[in-house]
Amino acid sequence: MPGNSLLIHIDNPQLYTTGSTVRGCAELLVEDKLDLECLEVELLGLAKSRNHTYVNGSYTAGEEKHRLLQITTMVFPPPDVQDVTTLKNYTLTSGRYNYPFEFVFPGKEHVAKCVTDKKTFHSKYYLKKDKRDHATLVGSFYQEETLEDYFVIQYSIKGRVKTPLLFKFNIKQSVPIYFAPRNSEIFFSLLHLCDRSKNLLSDENHACQRVKYGIDSEVKESKSFLKKLLSSNSVRVPFELNVRFKETSPIETEKGITNRVLEAGNRLSKHVDLDLSTSFSYLNLMDALGMNRSDKKGIAHPPAIKLTHIKVKLILKVRFLGATETYLTLKFDLLNQPLDLQINLSDFEKVDYNGPHLVNYSPSKYADKLDKRVCYRLSLEPSWWDCYVNDIGQSFLTCNIRKNVELYIRLTIACADNPEKEIKIKNTAPIVFYRQEGSNEPSYHEEEQLPPYMPAPAVHDDDSKSSDTK
């Protein structure tokens, strides 16, 4: 057996997707002769996670390994020989032998078998939390917190020569390949898109903060000493930042249809609209600030809002199992730029409103003057906030790994008369993330061309790439 080796060659290297065919050949190099039972090649997909903890000061490492896909084919003896022979052992003489193979990646109908390590109990931890019965295929992905704490979704073509020797020194070889399901086939956490009552979130995401507007100086001076002492000299006006998801890439789920989707390679404006709303009309605020008095008309500056900064980022939140549960958060900036915009409240448009935030944030002393059924809205021009959506990998869910994504938008605003007192409205929206797909999808024929989140260090491969492995 010394000198005999097995090589796996991939004829059509690429980033495979749902329905893609992997073609290649297993090349067996025999130096003298080789006794064997068969040569098997398999397409294997694993979800592996590993971390560590300390129990009573003692270091404990743990690993979860779940089989997502395993398709095995026997390439030697060839299929035509398998049909007519009863032999169990064969001998190959010195030479070079090539045996072609072909695999097709299944779609969403595939049911992952999951556990590969020997366990008597399989909790399906994250699937159970999400009330899902089984996992399916998810895309290649690698992320580490430390060298000892990491998770990997890994696909490979593995070849194995089974020998009749007593101690079974089989010849093995493994090469990595890379897979990402079609966006329409991805398997993700539904719980991430639900509220506390387990109902699907609407296609709008809201965040609210208050901005102080100082009342007119003459109104302030006309107050009695007691009123000056007990009453406020400002009006706290609520402003709501709204992210409205467009019907660009609707997903039908068990709980209904959601449009909370971003796709890499697009502009953010293809998927969302942004607007700023308040419960105060221009006249409401003028009245509250004491600017509607007859002696003030034509003199007082109309109330205005300044927009001073916008930040957009994607937040990747991962949980994975091992000896314990690891929480990992990664942030990817898409846009971080100053703004210099001043908008009069008279430019806000009156629209119907049925949300709870503005009502709850509005000052109670003005409740009888504010119409809870309407709000005043300013659509934010895409030129102020639009940006390119970078690829951070698809959302996914397996038994041992859960990867969720959030869209974070922070708008900084201030009262135009007091621009130093800035207020930040932070809107964090749970979403489903799609990879770049379609005619604009990059070509991936070399490992160096792959998205950076896909290739895993060779040390995490389950089989050594050298031959003659036991």
User: Looking at residue 200, what DSSP letter applies?
Assistant: B
Structure tokens that stand for 137 in this block: 């295929």
Rounded Cα–Cα distance for residues 468 and 470 (Å): 6
Q: What is the pLDDT of residues 319-345, one digit of tens each?
A: 999 989 999 999 999 999 999 999 999
Neighbouring CB atoms inside 10 A of 155's CB total 22
User: Looking at residue 223, what DSSP letter applies?
Assistant: S
Rounded Cα–Cα distance for residues 358 and 208 (Å): 7
The burial class, CB within 10 Å (0-12 / 13-18 / 19+), for 270 is middle
Please give the domain boundaries of the chain with CATH numbers for all domains.
5-179 (2.60.40.640), 190-434 (no CATH)
Q: What is the pLDDT of residues 175-225, one digit of tens each?
A: 999 999 999 999 999 999 999 999 999 999 999 999 998 875 544 455 444
Question: At residue 38, what are phi and psi to the nearest 5 degrees?
Answer: -170, 170
pLDDT at residue 313, as a whole number: 98
**Cα 312 vs. chain centroid, distance in angstroms?**
15
pTM across the whole model? 0.89
Contact call for residues 393 and 453 (beta carbons, < 8 A): yes
Contact call for residues 393 and 451 (beta carbons, < 8 A): yes
Rounded Cα–Cα distance for residues 77 and 75 (Å): 6
pLDDT at residue 355, as a whole number: 77
pLDDT at residue 224, as a whole number: 46
The burial class, CB within 10 Å (0-12 / 13-18 / 19+), for 212 is middle
Q: In what order do the strands lie in the sheet with 21-36?
A: 5-10, 21-36, 90-104
Element (DSSP H or E) covering residue 152: strand 149-162
pLDDT at residue 133, as a whole number: 80
List the chain residues with pLDDT less than 50: 218-220, 223-231, 294-296, 298-299, 464-470
Structure tokens that stand for 354 in this block: 């049925």
Element (DSSP H or E) covering residue 79: helix 79-82
List of residues 6+ apart from 269 with CB closer than 8 A: 382, 386
User: Looking at residue 436, what DSSP letter applies?
Assistant: P
| Strand partners of residue 63 | 50
pLDDT at residue 71, as a whole number: 95
Query: What is the rounded radius of gyration, in angstroms, for the C-alpha atoms of the chain?
Result: 31
